[in-house]
Amino acid sequence: MAKKPSPIKKDVSNDKIQALEAFKEDSSEQFLTTNNGVRINDNHNSLKVSDRGPTLLEDFVLREKITHFDHERIPERVVHARGAGAHGIFQVYESLEKFTCAGFLTDPKRETPVFVRFSTVAGSRGSTDLARDVRGFAVKFYTEEGIFDLVGNNIPVFFIQDAMKFPDLVHAVKPEPHNEIPQAASAHNTFWDFISCTPESMHMIMWVMSDRAIPRSYRMMEGFGVHTFRLINAEGQSHFVKFHWKPLLGVHSVAWDEAQIISGRDPDFHRRDLWMAIENGDYPEWELGLQIIPEADEHKFDFDLLDPTKIVPEEMVPVQRVGRLTLNRNPDNFFAETEQVAFHVGHIVRGIDFSNDPLLQGRLFSYLDTQLTRLGGPNFMEIPINRPLAPVHNNQRDGFMRQTINKGRTAHDPNRIGGGCPFQAGWKQGGFVSYTQAVEGSKIRARSASFSDHFSQAALFFNSLSLPEKNHLIDALRFELGKVEIEEVRVRMLSLLAQVDGGLAASVAEALTLDVPDQPPRPLNLNVGADAEEGASEPQPIAFDPTKSPALSQANQPCSPETRRIAVLVADGFDASDVAGLRKVAEGEGAMVDLVSTRVGQIKDSSGRLHLASFSVYTVDSVLFDAVYVADGGKSVENLTLHINAVRFLQNAYVHCKSIGISGSAVQLLKLACPRVNDGGEAGVLVGLKLTAEFVGSLAQHRYWERENTLKPGFEEKPDV
């Protein structure tokens, strides 16, 4: 169904996006004014009685300016507070009218404007981009039939199965209330206390402790709708659907140690990366993928489609790539657009509908409710970034910050005074009609037994990882649980990990100086209420045969040199022809080259010509680049060896398993930085002359994890099943 991905486009235009421009500030009039349009002749001095006298209360310019400043901040999001956004377009490859009547999915000629916001979840607005965390991936489609918000994450499952537990989850992962510590981190007592009492979280824990939780960039992470939705076609037929976003650059991550260094060097690393990619014309692109499941197949899986802690493995239901998302324009104002954008899972259009997923059902209430507080009232949809392109006609009136000026005397329905307008729309007139589903049962606080298997897919995920990915996950658990001060919590977690994989639990236990419990404790009865039906309190065991799903491992992701950043270490006396050769090959493959020297500014090559070094080893580290190349030139290399930061720059690139190119005499710096590899021969370390093409080609492998240590003690790699 999908077309073959084309190279990343450098020029994307869309006239429909211009409809969103009508509400932007007109900069043609340059006079400074008050908010009601009065021109200001002095914006630097308040109105006073003499130049040293008291300030007058009548200074309406001062009062307006200070009052507005005092009220500039709005409440940050409770979760997903720190984010970055961009504008773009979406276009479907071929009509999906067999499955849906949504116009933006059935008309291949239509370019639908979008606004996408990426975010971390746990931290505040001032936290780092590189926290180990889930990443939000929210897409607002400005369709001709209204707004559709696909509000998801970069992880396809979630911690909990029912929205009733969401406040507890967030309270647990947020900074602990007695001292507001730690910020943007899950490595603390309350989070792991909650998780150790919530076995349903174990699948999500595998994802969050994996490399997926520390992406290389927003441009290199997947997105998921998480829940099961419905597609409805023109005949009213329903199919279940799972939404995916597949990045054309592949899914890639940074090392945990690297992430911590980046947080110190550039806590805005992901924001800056997204912004600069768009400014450079390297427009980030994803393909929309759909897993479409006939309604008749709902119960043919050994898990429940309505369970948000479960995936549908791609080997069971392939992901059909049906359209392209391209981000091609940065916001003009962060607050007005990225901060004020209001997503809501309840924003759907004709042709898309909900399932009975209990977490999704809770989100349908929560998202609307939170916008009322955060954006000051029910008129948040009139903020330009939230305003639909489709015309809006209804009888809703007034409220805080109302901008629409409604004409006429009627604001009620039905009416005759206004000629009956606005009219209801039937199905054939494009009206939204909720899917008709028969529902029958007792009113009860309980959870289906089909939601009871909490470990099969956690094991599936772990078994599917490559050896380096497994080691990273083990290291993450050792770090996180090592920060937990309460031994009882650590023991409970080891018991849960043992039900995922015995070797995994043993390896983590070794770092905690604990033994894995022989028998798991009886689960707390958290899933069923006191008024549950008889027998429902005992989850029914579901037999499973864990297999591997190659789609879950980042080792199987595409990778190329495109948009990769290469740091070229140089100092006075470097070989300019060596650097020029590298730049030609690298830029021909879509990579970027930056000169990094012992100082910022002009440096001389071996012939005395001047070149501009954008960075110095005192302002950046190799963690901010994808690869390091040390240029030839005896004097240059000699100068670099005298600077400890240059030595560390190369050392960190080696430790973090990046491609390293050592040209000619630069081997002297390699001997100093990495004595045991000074002759080369290690994966991803290239030593010699005229190696630019080979070095750039090595970027096609994201990292050379072979350099890392072998398996952790107590852990054995599982054979293929």
Q: Which residues are catalytic?
A: 80, 153
Q: Residue 92 has which token pair?
A: 């479907």
DSSP state at residue 401:
T
Place of tokens 């006429």: 408
The one-letter code for the residue type at 141 is F
CA distance 130 to 217: 9
Place of tokens 């560390």: 648
Handedness of CA 390, 396, 397, 402 (dihedral sign): negative
CB neighbour list of residue 250: distance below 8 Å, 6 or more residues apart: 220, 557, 558, 559, 560, 702
Task: Give the containing element (helix H, strand E) for 363.
Answer: helix 358-374
CA 424 to each of CA 143, 393, 415, 613: distance values in angstroms, whole numbers, following the listed order: 20, 10, 12, 64
Handedness of CA 659, 661, 667, 673 (dihedral sign): negative
Q: Is the peptide bond before 182 cis (omega within 30 degrees of 0)?
A: yes
CA distance 396 to 495: 54
CA distance 568 to 128: 27
The size of the chain, in residues, is 721
Phi, psi of 143 (to 5 degrees): -80, 165
- Is the CB of residue 361 less than 8 Å from the CB of residue 354? yes
Q: Using DSSP bridges, classify how beta strands 135-143 and 146-153 pair: parallel, antiparallel or unpaired.
A: antiparallel
Tell me the helix, strand and coil percentages in the chain, rounded to 5. 30, 15, 50
List, as own/partner pairs, every contact residues 435-444 make where C-beta atoms lie below 8 angstroms and the sequence separation is at least 24, other chains included.
Answer: 435/230, 435/232, 435/236, 435/238, 435/353, 436/236, 442/533, 444/529, 444/531, 444/532, 444/533
- What is the distance of C-alpha 573 from the center of its chain? 43
- Is the CB of residue 90 less than 8 Å from the CB of residue 324? yes
Total Cβ atoms within 10 A of residue 701: 14
CA distance 618 to 613: 12
Q: Residue 369 has which token pair?
A: 């409710």
Nearest CA among 308, 345, 163, 170 for reference residue 228: 308
Q: Helix (H, G, I), strand (E, B), or coil: what is residue 23?
A: helix
Task: Give the containing element (helix H, strand E) for 63.
Answer: helix 60-70
Q: Residue 509 has which token pair?
A: 């236990």
Angle ∠(309,315,320) on CA atoms, nearest 5: 90
- Rg of the chain over all Cα atoms, to the nearest angstrom: 28
CB neighbour list of residue 299: distance below 8 Å, 6 or more residues apart: none
Q: Helix (H, G, I), strand (E, B), or coil: what is residue 358?
A: helix
- Is the CB of residue 106 less than 8 Å from the CB of residue 96? yes
Q: Residue 286 has which token pair?
A: 């994803």
* DSSP conformation letters of 224-289: E--S-EEEE-TT--EEEEEEEEEETT---B--HHHHHHHHHH-TTHHHHHHHHHHHTT---EEEEE
- Is the CB of residue 287 less than 8 Å from the CB of residue 5? yes
CA distance 366 to 382: 20
Nearest CA among 513, 517, 482 for reference residue 499: 517
Nearest CA among 317, 352, 714, 194 for reference residue 506: 714
